[in-house]
Copies of this chain bind each other. A is one copy, B any other.
Amino acid sequence: MVDSSNDFGRIIKQQRITLQLTLQQLADVSGVSPSHLGRIERGERFPSAHILRKIAQPLNFGEDELFTLAGYLSSEPLKVTEKDPTYSSGRLDPYVAAVLSQEPVEIQRTVIGILTLLKNIGRSMSE
Which residues does A use to contact B, with CB under 8 Å?
Answer: 7, 11, 14-15, 18-19, 30-31, 46-50, 52-54, 57, 60, 62-65, 67-74, 76, 78-81, 86-93, 95-97, 99-105, 107-109, 111-117, 120-121, 123-124
Contact = CB atoms under 8 A, between A and B. Distances in A.
Given A49-B67, A49-B72, A64-B67, A112 B88 contact: no
The A interface, classified by DSSP as helix, strand, loop or mixed, is helix
Number of this chain's copies in the assembly equals 2
A107 B20 CA distance: 29
A121 to B, nearest CB: 7
A119 to B, nearest CB: 9
A60 B123 CA distance: 9
B124 A109 contact: no
A102 B73 contact: no
B109 A101 contact: no
Contact of A112 (B78, B80, B99, B109): B99
